[in-house]
Structure 1
Amino acid sequence: MTLTNKTVVVVGATGLQGRAVTRHLLHDGWRVRALTRDPDGAHARALARAGAELVRARMEDADSLTAAAEGAWGLFSVQPTVGSPGTAQDFTTEDEVRWGVNVAEAARAAGVGHLVFSSVAGADRHPSEKVPANLVSKWRIERRVAELGLPATILRPVSFMENFTGGYALRDGTLSTGVAPDTVQQLMAVDDVGAVTALAFARPGEWIGRAVSLAADELTPVQVAEAIGTALGISLPYVRIPIEVIRSVSEDFAYAMQWLDEYGYRADIAATRRILPAAMDFSTWLARTGAAQISAFLDAARPAGQGTR
């Protein structure tokens, strides 16, 4: 365990990544200032019980961020993307960039000694290749962090394994996304992003100035469905959602699916394992937490009176 009297601010502390980062930092002995717009929410109260200090702040309010960051040594920054759970329907990529820039500028104004920004794998390919809107937005935030000259680490995780635990991918007894059945998609567990973040804060001399892509496994959607089915003892076929159907809802999201099919993240899995040898592959993640999460979702979604399959 790392023993320290330094404080790290976690922005977006009640989100998936923020909760994972907070858990790892508290476990390692850091003081954690967890920023949330709703300190009375269930996730926020759980963080407080674990030992985090709750501070009310909003990413759209730069002054609240600066005040919350005063006196802190480190700051973890992550922003939602369009369509993320909990974001307003009218939330845009411009909002995402504005929020990310606000956090970076607050870190500078407060004199934070180490900023860790969670971006996305492939964001750095923006200058040379057309990429989806969510990669462009993360790249724009990365550029602002660089312009400000912040002592920073950029983490670029690939798709999260947790994407397969709810309605985003589980529909009508199938696993369904817009990715082609034979496309190999790189995956990373959110908890392992938290572990790498804690490593970065513990070793600033090694991590400040680095930008690192993170991936721990790669599977086709068919293989993902088979692994989930085996873990739960159910039949879970993979059904691809036609790209035209996705395009009718969102052109940006349709292009993101096509980009995954054609280009993909291209992160170095071996390099991730050198950083975090214990990084979970998909089956390990299922055995530890994923299968239980998926089972809970399926049970909740099952019509009343219908038995388990």
Structure 2
Amino acid sequence: MTTTSKGVLVFGATGNMGGAAARELLKRGWRVRAVTRDPQSEKAQALAALGAELVQADMDDPASLEAAFDGVTRVFSVQNWSISGVEGEIRQGKHVADAAKTAGVTHLVFGSAGVGQPDTGVPHFDCKVVVERYMRDELGLPVTVIRPGPFMELMTDKAFFPPLAAWGMMPKIVGWETPLPWTAVADIGAAIANVFENPTKWIGRDIDLIGDVASMRQCQQAFKAITGKKPFGIGLPVALFNKMAGPEMVTMWRWLADYLAANDINAAKGEMLAAAREACPQLHSVTDWLKSERNGQGL
């Protein structure tokens, strides 16, 4: 990848946000260098089949990052706390930022979460703020931050255990009637591509990428209207769920319930969606997304 090429180095390329970014960029004719620890994995090979260049690197190995950044001017960075832990996420995020600084990257798009405020009490939100501030305040990198809401895929993707999580514990803790912000993973990829295509507009900005606001009850009703059946849910005792999945998810859902109780996002829905459409004009609503899943046989 030459420095003058229309190319992007994509971290997390076999995950949700990075994978969506890689696929969308490839579809638009960009050159994608996909970072993976295992180039032979099924997901990595699927990206290679679409035209991605695979590069083996580890965010905990700065030397491997130096090679991955060779000839790169644009990068999408995202880390996964569920794999590395929150301290590992901070460490890896800083390693990527350091490599970007050394390489002279002209635009870094960072996949974040939460509301961009420190000390929420949700570790995997707070650690992202640490990385954001490091990139901007300490390194002075040209950064755009994208913050999606809960993925719509939580409702259907088996990797997220929908009966237990989205349709079981989430409404139990957050409530069936509480309006929630939602984001389709494909929309994240589209937004990232749009941002890279217009760096002058987006460098230095944060994007709260929310595609819809809907309660779990409304999501349940939409699911039934489209599939003809209610989604199956299992509500376990919280203590048992914590033993199975760890306390992080419950901590996040409880924070979300408190945050939404103090902030009327229904009242702000129009403004939120308008701001998000600036980055991704074709945002999916929950109903639109469920229909697309149904048509694609994901339901």
Normalized against structure 2, the TM-score is what?
Answer: 0.86
Taking a change above 3 Å as real, the CA distance of residues 290 and 112 of structure 1, as seen in their structure-2 partners, is farther
**Greater Cα shift, 152-161 or 236-245:** 236-245
**Greater Cα shift, 252-261 or 188-197:** 252-261
**Superposed CA offset, 1:195-252 (max 9, x none):** 1111111111111111111101111112222222222222325555444444455333
**Correspondences of 1:226-245 after superposition (within 5 Å):** 226-236=221-231, 240-245=235-240
Q: Any conservation in 1 of the 2:163–2:233 contact (CA below 8 Å)? A: no
1:112 to 58, 80, 105: 105
Secondary structure of 1:66 counterpart:
helix
Q: In structure 2, what is the equivalent of residue 150 of structure 1?
A: 141
1:190 to 185, 193, 197: 185
**Superposed CA offset, 1:13-58 (max 9, x none):** 1112112101111122211111111111111111111111111111
Q: In structure 2, what is the equivalent of residue 216 of structure 1?
A: 211
2:175 to 163, 172, 180: 180
Paired AA for residue 15 in structure 2 = G
Q: In structure 2, what is the equivalent of residue 161 of structure 1?
A: 152
* Mapped partners of 2:286, 2:295: distance in 1: 10
Q: In structure 2, what is the equivalent of residue 131 of structure 1?
A: 121
* Mapped partners of 1:36, 1:132: distance in 2: 27
Q: In structure 2, what is the equivalent of residue 300 of structure 1?
A: none
2:248 is the alignment partner of 1:252: yes
Secondary structure of 2:281 counterpart:
coil
Q: CA deviation at 1:163?
A: 1.5
Secondary structure of 1:278 counterpart:
coil
- The runs of 5 or more residues in structure 2 that have no matched partner are none
- The runs of 5 or more residues in structure 1 that have no matched partner are 296-309
* Mapped partners of 2:294, 2:125: distance in 1: 26
Q: Any conservation in 1 of the 2:8–2:72 contact (CA below 8 Å)? A: yes
Q: Any conservation in 1 of the 2:69–2:100 contact (CA below 8 Å)? A: yes
Q: CA deviation at 1:177?
A: 2.4
User: More helix per residue: 1 or 2?
Assistant: 2
Q: In structure 2, what is the equivalent of residue 26 of structure 1?
A: 26
Aligned length: 281
Q: CA deviation at 1:254?
A: 2.2
Taking a change above 3 Å as real, the CA distance of residues 143 and 121 of structure 1, as seen in their structure-2 partners, is same
**Correspondences of 1:73-88 after superposition (within 5 Å):** 73-82=73-82, 87=83
Secondary structure of 2:81 counterpart:
coil
* Mapped partners of 1:169, 1:229: distance in 2: 18
Q: Any conservation in 1 of the 2:195–2:279 contact (CA below 8 Å)? A: no
Paired AA for residue 153 in structure 1 = T
Q: CA deviation at 1:182?
A: 1.8
**Superposed CA offset, 1:272-306 (max 9, x none):** 123322111111111113675653xxxxxxxxxxx
**Greater Cα shift, 241-250 or 224-233:** 241-250
Paired AA for residue 287 in structure 1 = K
Paired AA for residue 258 in structure 2 = E
Paired AA for residue 281 in structure 1 = S
Q: Any conservation in 2 of the 1:180–1:240 contact (CA below 8 Å)? A: no
Q: CA deviation at 1:94?
A: 0.5
Q: CA deviation at 1:171?
A: 2.7
